[in-house]
Amino acid sequence: MSRAMNLTGQLLIAMPSLRDPHFARGVIYVCAHTAERAMGFMVNRPIAQPSFDDLLAQLDIAPVPPARRIRLCSGGPVDHGRGFVLHTADWSDEGTLRVDEGHALTASLDILKAIAAGEGPREGLLALGYVGWGPGQLDREFHENVWLSAPADDALIFDADHESKWRRALAKLKVDPSLLSSVAGRA
């Protein structure tokens, strides 16, 4: 299989036929996609507990209550105990990884301290866990018609309307989910 496809910085949208409860109706922001691996975060799986305030208190980050808050989500089924802040690229620190022109990823406590103090990036989302793929796995799934891809935008990544994100992501492609086939073809 050729390496013509790079989904870094794109949204993956689960096809309606995907029934795995971890990914059904999922919208994933892809942070890295190489021949060796791929990694991303579900952006439409909010979690209620812990709250952002509770998390700051557990990590002994002041002030609580914070000057600003960001939403928490289940980023994926891998490494639930690890947190990553996916955010706009207008803020960075030593540990920040730039994903694309508009988005970055930071896994240090410094970003949480900045947000709690009312600073930090314009938009952010704290993902607990992530989605990971091994060598060639995402490419295979994509060619097997498991996912569609769409350009990422801040509304789909960061807004609080999680219920509609899957349909809105499909609408970006002008796709009606009821008309999608689960069968991949070749022209």
Whether 2 shows a pLDDT value over 50: the answer reads no
Residue 58 falls inside a structural domain? yes
12-50 core/surface letters (b: 16 or more CB in 10 A; e: else): bbbbbebeeeebebbbbbbbbbeeeebbbbbbbbebeee
Q: What is the pLDDT of residues 60-90, one digit of tens each?
A: 999 989 999 999 999 999 998 899 999 999 9
Q: How many domains does the chain have?
A: 1
Residue 49 falls inside a structural domain? yes
Q: What is the pLDDT of residue 1?
A: 40
Question: 187 pLDDT band (50/70/90 cuts)?
Answer: very low
Q: What is the pLDDT of residue 183?
A: 53
Q: What is the pLDDT of residues 150-173, one digit of tens each?
A: 999 999 999 999 999 999 999 999
Q: What is the pLDDT of residue 61?
A: 95
Residue 48 falls inside a structural domain? yes
Q: Give the domain CATH number at 21.
A: 3.40.1740.10
SS3 track for 69-81: CCEEEECCCEEEE
Residue 182 falls inside a structural domain? no
Residue 27 falls inside a structural domain? yes
Residue 186 falls inside a structural domain? no
Residue 46 falls inside a structural domain? yes
Q: Which domain holds residue 93?
A: 10-177
Residue 159 falls inside a structural domain? yes
